[in-house]
Protein backbone atom coordinates (compact mmCIF):
# COMPACT_ATOMS: atom_id res chain seq x y z
CA UNK A 1 0.00 0.00 0.00
CA UNK A 2 1.34 3.44 -0.97
CA UNK A 3 2.15 5.80 1.87
CA UNK A 4 1.39 8.79 -0.38
CA UNK A 5 -1.52 7.95 -2.67
CA UNK A 6 -1.29 9.36 -6.19
CA UNK A 7 -4.04 11.51 -7.72
CA UNK A 8 -4.78 13.11 -11.10
CA UNK A 9 -2.44 15.96 -10.16
CA UNK A 10 -2.58 19.75 -9.89
CA UNK A 11 -2.35 20.36 -13.62
CA UNK A 12 -5.51 18.36 -14.30
CA UNK A 13 -7.32 19.75 -11.26
CA UNK A 14 -6.57 23.38 -12.08
CA UNK A 15 -7.39 22.89 -15.77
CA UNK A 16 -10.89 21.53 -15.04
CA UNK A 17 -11.91 24.12 -12.41
CA UNK A 18 -13.37 26.42 -15.08
CA UNK A 19 -15.23 23.46 -16.58
CA UNK A 20 -17.02 22.64 -13.33
CA UNK A 21 -17.32 26.12 -11.81
CA UNK A 22 -21.09 26.62 -11.88
CA UNK A 23 -24.01 27.55 -9.67
CA UNK A 24 -24.07 24.10 -8.02
CA UNK A 25 -20.40 23.93 -7.05
CA UNK A 26 -20.28 27.61 -6.05
CA UNK A 27 -23.52 27.28 -4.09
CA UNK A 28 -22.42 24.17 -2.18
CA UNK A 29 -19.01 25.70 -1.46
CA UNK A 30 -20.58 28.87 -0.10
CA UNK A 31 -23.14 26.95 1.99
CA UNK A 32 -20.24 25.04 3.52
CA UNK A 33 -18.43 28.31 4.21
CA UNK A 34 -21.48 29.98 5.77
CA UNK A 35 -21.95 26.94 8.01
CA UNK A 36 -18.30 26.96 9.07
CA UNK A 37 -18.04 30.72 9.60
CA UNK A 38 -21.11 31.17 11.79
CA UNK A 39 -21.83 28.75 14.65
CA UNK A 40 -18.46 26.95 14.71
CA UNK A 41 -16.57 30.26 14.73
CA UNK A 42 -18.66 31.42 17.68
CA UNK A 43 -17.65 28.22 19.50
CA UNK A 44 -13.96 29.02 19.00
CA UNK A 45 -14.49 32.60 20.19
CA UNK A 46 -16.40 31.35 23.24
CA UNK A 47 -13.62 28.84 24.00
CA UNK A 48 -11.00 31.58 23.76
CA UNK A 49 -12.95 33.85 26.08
CA UNK A 50 -13.50 30.99 28.55
CA UNK A 51 -9.77 30.26 28.55
CA UNK A 52 -9.08 33.93 29.32
CA UNK A 53 -7.24 34.75 26.08
CA UNK A 54 -7.04 38.29 24.71
CA UNK A 55 -8.80 39.56 21.59
CA UNK A 56 -5.46 39.49 19.73
CA UNK A 57 -4.94 35.85 20.78
CA UNK A 58 -8.37 34.80 19.51
CA UNK A 59 -7.84 36.66 16.21
CA UNK A 60 -4.61 34.74 15.63
CA UNK A 61 -6.36 31.46 16.57
CA UNK A 62 -9.20 32.04 14.11
CA UNK A 63 -6.76 33.17 11.41
CA UNK A 64 -4.82 29.91 11.75
CA UNK A 65 -7.73 27.49 11.56
CA UNK A 66 -9.52 29.18 8.66
CA UNK A 67 -6.57 30.20 6.48
CA UNK A 68 -4.57 26.98 6.80
CA UNK A 69 -7.64 24.75 7.05
CA UNK A 70 -9.09 26.35 3.93
CA UNK A 71 -5.83 26.11 1.97
CA UNK A 72 -5.36 22.48 3.06
CA UNK A 73 -8.75 21.53 1.64
CA UNK A 74 -8.32 23.53 -1.56
CA UNK A 75 -4.91 21.95 -2.25
CA UNK A 76 -6.01 18.35 -1.64
CA UNK A 77 -9.28 18.83 -3.52
CA UNK A 78 -7.42 20.18 -6.55
CA UNK A 79 -4.75 17.45 -6.57
CA UNK A 80 -7.11 14.50 -6.06
CA UNK A 81 -10.13 16.07 -7.81
CA UNK A 82 -12.27 15.03 -4.84
CA UNK A 83 -14.49 17.15 -2.58
CA UNK A 84 -12.02 17.09 0.32
CA UNK A 85 -12.69 20.13 2.49
CA UNK A 86 -10.40 21.45 5.20
CA UNK A 87 -11.20 23.43 8.32
CA UNK A 88 -10.74 22.37 11.95
CA UNK A 89 -12.19 20.06 14.58
CA UNK A 90 -15.45 21.58 15.86
CA UNK A 91 -15.73 19.07 18.76
CA UNK A 92 -12.09 19.81 19.51
CA UNK A 93 -12.89 23.51 19.83
CA UNK A 94 -15.52 22.72 22.47
CA UNK A 95 -12.90 21.03 24.62
CA UNK A 96 -10.43 23.89 24.47
CA UNK A 97 -12.15 26.42 26.73
CA UNK A 98 -12.09 24.14 29.78
CA UNK A 99 -8.78 22.43 28.91
CA UNK A 100 -6.89 25.70 28.42
CA UNK A 101 -8.31 27.68 31.34
CA UNK A 102 -5.47 28.91 33.52
CA UNK A 103 -2.77 28.36 30.88
CA UNK A 104 -1.05 30.91 28.68
CA UNK A 105 -1.63 31.25 24.95
CA UNK A 106 1.99 30.22 24.38
CA UNK A 107 1.39 26.99 26.29
CA UNK A 108 -1.75 26.42 24.22
CA UNK A 109 0.29 26.84 21.02
CA UNK A 110 2.71 24.17 22.23
CA UNK A 111 -0.16 21.76 22.92
CA UNK A 112 -1.66 22.40 19.47
CA UNK A 113 1.67 21.77 17.74
CA UNK A 114 2.14 18.50 19.64
CA UNK A 115 -1.36 17.40 18.61
CA UNK A 116 -0.34 17.95 14.99
CA UNK A 117 2.89 16.01 15.52
CA UNK A 118 0.94 13.08 17.00
CA UNK A 119 -1.42 12.98 14.00
CA UNK A 120 1.51 13.25 11.56
CA UNK A 121 3.51 10.44 13.21
CA UNK A 122 0.51 8.12 13.33
CA UNK A 123 -0.25 8.92 9.69
CA UNK A 124 3.32 8.16 8.62
CA UNK A 125 3.49 4.91 10.61
CA UNK A 126 0.04 3.65 9.66
CA UNK A 127 -0.89 2.95 13.29
CA UNK A 128 -4.30 4.61 13.14
CA UNK A 129 -6.23 1.30 12.91
CA UNK A 130 -4.54 -0.26 15.95
CA UNK A 131 -4.97 2.88 18.04
CA UNK A 132 -8.67 3.18 17.25
CA UNK A 133 -9.13 -0.51 18.16
CA UNK A 134 -7.78 0.26 21.62
CA UNK A 135 -9.48 3.66 21.86
CA UNK A 136 -12.98 3.04 20.45
CA UNK A 137 -14.82 5.86 18.71
CA UNK A 138 -17.82 5.26 20.99
CA UNK A 139 -15.79 6.25 24.05
CA UNK A 140 -14.15 9.17 22.25
CA UNK A 141 -17.49 10.65 21.22
CA UNK A 142 -18.98 10.08 24.68
CA UNK A 143 -16.12 12.18 26.05
CA UNK A 144 -16.92 14.87 23.47
CA UNK A 145 -20.63 14.79 24.33
CA UNK A 146 -19.85 15.24 28.00
CA UNK A 147 -17.61 18.21 27.32
CA UNK A 148 -20.13 19.77 24.91
CA UNK A 149 -23.19 19.44 27.12
CA UNK A 150 -22.36 22.75 28.80
CA UNK A 151 -23.22 24.50 25.52
CA UNK A 152 -26.74 23.05 25.55
CA UNK A 153 -27.17 23.98 29.19
CA UNK A 154 -25.82 27.42 28.35
CA UNK A 155 -28.72 28.01 25.94
CA UNK A 156 -31.22 27.37 28.73
CA UNK A 157 -29.40 29.68 31.14
CA UNK A 158 -29.08 32.44 28.53
CA UNK A 159 -32.80 32.32 27.67
CA UNK A 160 -33.60 32.50 31.38
CA UNK A 161 -31.34 35.56 31.75
CA UNK A 162 -32.48 37.37 28.58
CA UNK A 163 -35.74 35.85 27.32
CA UNK A 164 -36.41 38.62 24.79
CA UNK A 165 -33.24 38.38 22.67
CA UNK A 166 -32.15 34.81 23.40
CA UNK A 167 -35.68 33.42 23.38
CA UNK A 168 -36.35 35.05 20.01
CA UNK A 169 -33.12 33.53 18.63
CA UNK A 170 -34.17 30.09 19.77
CA UNK A 171 -37.59 30.39 18.12
CA UNK A 172 -36.06 31.66 14.87
CA UNK A 173 -33.56 28.79 14.94
CA UNK A 174 -36.45 26.31 15.13
CA UNK A 175 -38.91 27.95 12.73
CA UNK A 176 -36.84 29.30 9.78
CA UNK A 177 -35.47 25.91 8.57
CA UNK A 178 -39.03 24.52 8.51
CA UNK A 179 -40.03 27.02 5.80
CA UNK A 180 -36.62 27.73 4.22
CA UNK A 181 -34.65 24.48 4.30
CA UNK A 182 -31.50 25.91 2.70
CA UNK A 183 -31.11 28.74 5.21
CA UNK A 184 -29.10 27.61 8.26
CA UNK A 185 -31.01 28.08 11.49
CA UNK A 186 -27.93 29.44 13.27
CA UNK A 187 -27.43 32.11 10.60
CA UNK A 188 -31.05 33.22 10.96
CA UNK A 189 -30.76 33.29 14.74
CA UNK A 190 -27.52 35.30 14.49
CA UNK A 191 -29.10 37.96 12.27
CA UNK A 192 -32.23 38.32 14.40
CA UNK A 193 -30.24 38.27 17.64
CA UNK A 194 -27.83 40.98 16.50
CA UNK A 195 -30.67 43.23 15.30
CA UNK A 196 -32.59 42.83 18.58
CA UNK A 197 -29.47 43.34 20.71
CA UNK A 198 -28.54 46.50 18.80
CA UNK A 199 -31.96 48.15 18.96
CA UNK A 200 -32.48 47.26 22.64
CA UNK A 201 -29.15 48.79 23.65
CA UNK A 202 -27.44 45.55 24.61
CA UNK A 203 -24.23 46.08 22.57
CA UNK A 204 -21.09 46.43 24.70
CA UNK A 205 -19.49 49.19 22.60
CA UNK A 206 -19.63 51.08 19.33
CA UNK A 207 -19.44 49.42 15.92
CA UNK A 208 -17.11 52.25 14.87
CA UNK A 209 -14.52 50.92 17.35
CA UNK A 210 -13.97 47.75 15.27
CA UNK A 211 -10.47 47.66 13.81
CA UNK A 212 -8.06 45.26 12.13
CA UNK A 213 -5.73 43.19 14.32
CA UNK A 214 -2.85 41.40 12.58
CA UNK A 215 -2.30 37.69 13.34
CA UNK A 216 1.08 36.68 14.72
CA UNK A 217 3.40 33.73 15.16
CA UNK A 218 3.25 32.42 18.74
CA UNK A 219 6.35 31.14 20.55
CA UNK A 220 5.38 27.74 22.02
CA UNK A 221 5.95 27.16 25.73
CA UNK A 222 6.32 23.61 27.06
CA UNK A 223 3.67 22.25 29.44
CA UNK A 224 3.39 18.50 29.99
CA UNK A 225 -0.06 18.64 31.60
CA UNK A 226 -1.51 20.25 28.48
CA UNK A 227 -0.07 17.48 26.31
CA UNK A 228 -2.25 15.02 28.24
CA UNK A 229 -5.37 17.14 28.70
CA UNK A 230 -5.32 18.90 25.32
CA UNK A 231 -2.94 17.41 22.71
CA UNK A 232 -3.92 13.75 23.03
CA UNK A 233 -7.74 14.26 23.07
CA UNK A 234 -7.45 16.72 20.16
CA UNK A 235 -5.32 14.35 18.08
CA UNK A 236 -7.75 11.51 18.74
CA UNK A 237 -10.68 13.68 17.63
CA UNK A 238 -8.94 14.74 14.42
CA UNK A 239 -8.22 11.14 13.45
CA UNK A 240 -11.19 9.34 14.93
CA UNK A 241 -13.95 11.86 14.25
CA UNK A 242 -13.10 14.46 11.58
CA UNK A 243 -10.97 12.32 9.25
CA UNK A 244 -13.10 9.22 9.79
CA UNK A 245 -16.30 11.13 8.96
CA UNK A 246 -14.78 12.71 5.85
CA UNK A 247 -13.43 9.35 4.65
CA UNK A 248 -16.80 7.69 5.21
CA UNK A 249 -18.60 10.42 3.25
CA UNK A 250 -16.17 10.16 0.33
CA UNK A 251 -16.34 6.36 0.25
CA UNK A 252 -20.13 6.52 0.32
CA UNK A 253 -20.05 8.88 -2.67
CA UNK A 254 -17.91 6.42 -4.62
CA UNK A 255 -14.46 8.05 -4.36
CA UNK A 256 -11.18 6.19 -3.82
CA UNK A 257 -10.10 7.86 -0.59
CA UNK A 258 -6.44 8.87 -0.06
CA UNK A 259 -6.63 7.93 3.64
CA UNK A 260 -2.90 8.15 4.39
CA UNK A 261 -2.49 11.57 2.81
CA UNK A 262 -5.59 12.90 4.56
CA UNK A 263 -4.13 11.87 7.94
CA UNK A 264 -0.62 13.12 7.14
CA UNK A 265 -1.97 16.41 5.79
CA UNK A 266 -4.05 16.90 8.93
CA UNK A 267 -0.90 16.43 11.01
CA UNK A 268 1.07 18.95 8.95
CA UNK A 269 -1.88 21.36 9.07
CA UNK A 270 -2.02 21.00 12.84
CA UNK A 271 1.67 21.84 13.22
CA UNK A 272 1.50 24.89 10.93
CA UNK A 273 -1.71 26.25 12.48
CA UNK A 274 -0.31 25.57 15.95
CA UNK A 275 2.53 27.98 15.23
CA UNK A 276 -0.19 30.65 15.03
CA UNK A 277 -1.89 29.43 18.21
CA UNK A 278 -4.67 27.61 16.33
CA UNK A 279 -5.94 24.23 17.49
CA UNK A 280 -5.71 22.16 14.30
CA UNK A 281 -6.16 22.72 10.59
CA UNK A 282 -7.38 19.38 9.30
CA UNK A 283 -9.77 17.59 6.97
CA UNK A 284 -13.29 18.60 8.00
CA UNK A 285 -16.08 16.04 8.07
CA UNK A 286 -19.15 18.33 7.95
CA UNK A 287 -17.80 20.55 5.14
CA UNK A 288 -16.70 17.53 3.11
CA UNK A 289 -20.22 16.11 3.48
CA UNK A 290 -21.78 19.30 2.10
CA UNK A 291 -19.40 19.54 -0.85
CA UNK A 292 -19.65 15.81 -1.67
CA UNK A 293 -23.45 15.78 -1.78
CA UNK A 294 -25.44 15.46 -4.99
CA UNK A 295 -26.42 19.14 -4.66
CA UNK A 296 -22.83 20.00 -5.62
CA UNK A 297 -23.46 18.70 -9.14
CA UNK A 298 -21.92 15.85 -11.11
CA UNK A 299 -19.47 13.63 -9.27
CA UNK A 300 -16.36 14.52 -11.28
CA UNK A 301 -16.78 18.24 -10.62
CA UNK A 302 -17.73 18.30 -6.94
CA UNK A 303 -14.13 18.93 -5.96
CA UNK A 304 -14.59 22.51 -7.19
CA UNK A 305 -17.10 23.06 -4.35
CA UNK A 306 -14.32 22.22 -1.88
CA UNK A 307 -11.96 24.57 -3.71
CA UNK A 308 -14.54 27.38 -3.41
CA UNK A 309 -15.05 26.49 0.25
CA UNK A 310 -11.30 26.49 0.93
CA UNK A 311 -10.63 29.83 -0.76
CA UNK A 312 -13.54 31.57 0.98
CA UNK A 313 -12.47 30.09 4.33
CA UNK A 314 -8.99 31.54 3.80
CA UNK A 315 -10.43 34.95 2.93
CA UNK A 316 -12.58 34.88 6.06
CA UNK A 317 -9.53 33.99 8.13
CA UNK A 318 -7.55 36.91 6.74
CA UNK A 319 -10.24 39.38 7.82
CA UNK A 320 -11.42 37.51 10.92
CA UNK A 321 -10.34 40.37 13.17
CA UNK A 322 -13.39 42.38 12.09
CA UNK A 323 -15.81 39.51 12.73
CA UNK A 324 -14.31 38.71 16.15
CA UNK A 325 -14.25 42.37 17.20
CA UNK A 326 -17.92 42.57 16.22
CA UNK A 327 -18.81 39.42 18.17
CA UNK A 328 -17.14 40.90 21.25
CA UNK A 329 -19.68 43.74 21.15
CA UNK A 330 -22.55 41.23 21.32
CA UNK A 331 -23.85 40.41 24.82
CA UNK A 332 -22.38 37.24 26.32
CA UNK A 333 -25.83 35.68 26.72
CA UNK A 334 -26.45 35.97 22.97
CA UNK A 335 -23.03 34.50 22.12
CA UNK A 336 -23.74 31.62 24.51
CA UNK A 337 -27.12 30.99 22.90
CA UNK A 338 -25.73 30.99 19.37
CA UNK A 339 -22.79 28.77 20.30
CA UNK A 340 -25.15 26.30 21.97
CA UNK A 341 -27.53 26.24 19.00
CA UNK A 342 -24.59 25.65 16.67
CA UNK A 343 -23.61 22.60 18.72
CA UNK A 344 -27.00 20.86 18.77
CA UNK A 345 -26.44 18.59 15.77
CA UNK A 346 -22.83 17.90 16.73
CA UNK A 347 -23.93 16.98 20.25
CA UNK A 348 -26.73 14.72 19.00
CA UNK A 349 -24.36 13.01 16.54
CA UNK A 350 -21.81 12.51 19.32
CA UNK A 351 -24.39 10.86 21.59
CA UNK A 352 -25.63 8.71 18.70
CA UNK A 353 -22.10 7.53 17.87
CA UNK A 354 -21.41 6.87 21.55
CA UNK A 355 -24.43 4.68 22.24
CA UNK A 356 -26.11 3.58 19.00
CA UNK A 357 -23.89 0.57 18.28
CA UNK A 358 -24.47 -0.94 21.71
CA UNK A 359 -20.74 -1.59 22.10
CA UNK A 360 -18.67 -0.10 24.95
CA UNK A 361 -21.85 1.35 26.42
CA UNK A 362 -20.71 1.20 30.07
CA UNK A 363 -17.32 2.65 29.23
CA UNK A 364 -18.97 5.31 27.08
CA UNK A 365 -21.35 6.25 29.90
CA UNK A 366 -18.41 6.53 32.28
CA UNK A 367 -16.57 8.76 29.78
CA UNK A 368 -19.71 10.88 29.37
CA UNK A 369 -19.99 11.41 33.14
CA UNK A 370 -16.32 12.31 33.54
CA UNK A 371 -16.59 14.70 30.61
CA UNK A 372 -19.65 16.30 32.19
CA UNK A 373 -17.90 16.69 35.55
CA UNK A 374 -15.27 19.14 34.32
CA UNK A 375 -12.79 17.75 36.86
CA UNK A 376 -9.06 18.41 36.79
CA UNK A 377 -6.68 15.92 38.44
CA UNK A 378 -2.95 16.71 38.69
CA UNK A 379 -3.72 19.81 36.60
CA UNK A 380 -4.82 17.54 33.75
CA UNK A 381 -8.28 18.28 32.32
CA UNK A 382 -11.35 16.08 32.16
CA UNK A 383 -11.04 15.16 28.46
CA UNK A 384 -7.96 13.02 29.14
CA UNK A 385 -9.45 11.41 32.24
CA UNK A 386 -12.72 10.70 30.41
CA UNK A 387 -10.80 8.69 27.81
CA UNK A 388 -8.77 6.86 30.48
CA UNK A 389 -11.78 6.01 32.65
CA UNK A 390 -13.89 4.98 29.66
CA UNK A 391 -11.26 2.60 28.30
CA UNK A 392 -10.44 1.11 31.73
CA UNK A 393 -14.12 0.52 32.52
CA UNK A 394 -14.68 -1.17 29.14
CA UNK A 395 -11.55 -3.30 29.58
CA UNK A 396 -13.00 -4.55 32.87
CA UNK A 397 -16.64 -5.17 31.94
CA UNK A 398 -16.78 -5.07 28.12
CA UNK A 399 -13.65 -6.90 27.00
CA UNK A 400 -15.64 -8.78 24.36
CA UNK A 401 -16.38 -5.51 22.55
CA UNK A 402 -12.67 -4.95 21.93
CA UNK A 403 -12.53 -8.37 20.27
CA UNK A 404 -15.54 -7.47 18.10
CA UNK A 405 -13.84 -4.21 17.10
CA UNK A 406 -10.70 -6.03 15.96
CA UNK A 407 -12.69 -8.66 14.10
CA UNK A 408 -14.57 -6.08 12.00
CA UNK A 409 -11.40 -4.27 10.82
pLDDT at 211 over 80: no
Banded model confidence at residue 406, pLDDT cuts 50, 70, 90: low
Which whole number is the average pLDDT over 157-174?
93
Half-sphere exposure in the Cβ direction for 110 (13 Å, CA) = 17
Which residue did the predictor score with more confidence, 383 or 124?
A: 124
- φ, ψ of residue 192 to 5 degrees: the values are -65, -45
For residue range 387-402, what is the model confidence (pLDDT) as tens digits?
A: 899 999 999 999 888 8
For residue range 53-92, what is the model confidence (pLDDT) as tens digits?
A: 998 999 999 999 999 999 999 999 999 999 999 999 888 8
Taking the C-alpha atoms of residue 235 and residue 237, their distance in angstroms, rounded to an integer, is 5
pLDDT at 408 over 70: no
| Exposed / middle / buried, residue 181 (Cβ in 10 Å: 0-12, 13-18, 19+) | exposed
Contacts 24+ apart (CB under 8 A), 3-7: 3/124, 3/126, 3/260, 4/260, 4/261, 4/264, 5/80, 5/258, 5/259, 5/260, 5/261, 7/79, 7/80, 7/81, 7/82, 7/258
**pLDDT in the model for residue 209:** 64
**pLDDT in the model for residue 309:** 95
Banded model confidence at residue 305, pLDDT cuts 50, 70, 90: very high
Banded model confidence at residue 208, pLDDT cuts 50, 70, 90: low
Report the candidate in 303, 314, 405, 327 with the shortest Cα–Cα distance to residue 20: 303
Would you list the domain boundaries of the chain?
10-163+205-356
pLDDT at 105 over 70: yes
**pLDDT in the model for residue 271:** 96
Which residue did the predictor score with more confidence, 111 or 347?
A: 111
Banded model confidence at residue 164, pLDDT cuts 50, 70, 90: very high
Strand partners, 380: 377
Q: What percent of the chain has a predicted confidence (pLDDT) above 70?
A: 96
For residue range 334-377, what is the model confidence (pLDDT) as tens digits?
A: 888 888 887 787 788 889 989 998 899 999 999 999 989 888 78
Q: What percent of the chain has a predicted confidence (pLDDT) above 90?
A: 44
**pLDDT in the model for residue 409:** 55
For residue range 127-162, what is the model confidence (pLDDT) as tens digits?
A: 776 776 677 888 888 988 888 788 889 899 999 999
For residue range 27-51, what is the model confidence (pLDDT) as tens digits?
A: 889 888 888 887 788 889 888 988 9
What's the Rg (C-alpha) of the chain?
20
Identify the H or E element spanning 283: strand 281-283
Q: Are strands 281-283 and 86-88 parallel, antiparallel or unpaired?
A: antiparallel
pLDDT at 1 over 60: no
**pLDDT in the model for residue 129:** 65
pLDDT at 381 over 60: yes
**pLDDT in the model for residue 12:** 95
Amino acid sequence: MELIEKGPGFKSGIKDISKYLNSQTIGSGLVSTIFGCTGPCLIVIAAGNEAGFTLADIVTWVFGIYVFGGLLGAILATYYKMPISGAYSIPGATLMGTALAGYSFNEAAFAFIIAGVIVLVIGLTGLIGKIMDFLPLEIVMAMVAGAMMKFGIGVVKSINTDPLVCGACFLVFLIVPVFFKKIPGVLSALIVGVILAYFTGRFGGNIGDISFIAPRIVAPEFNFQLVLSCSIPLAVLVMGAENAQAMGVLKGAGYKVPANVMTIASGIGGIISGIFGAHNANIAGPMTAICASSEAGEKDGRYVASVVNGITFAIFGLFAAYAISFVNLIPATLVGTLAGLAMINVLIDSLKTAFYSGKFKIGSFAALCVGLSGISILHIGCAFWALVVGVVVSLIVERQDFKKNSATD
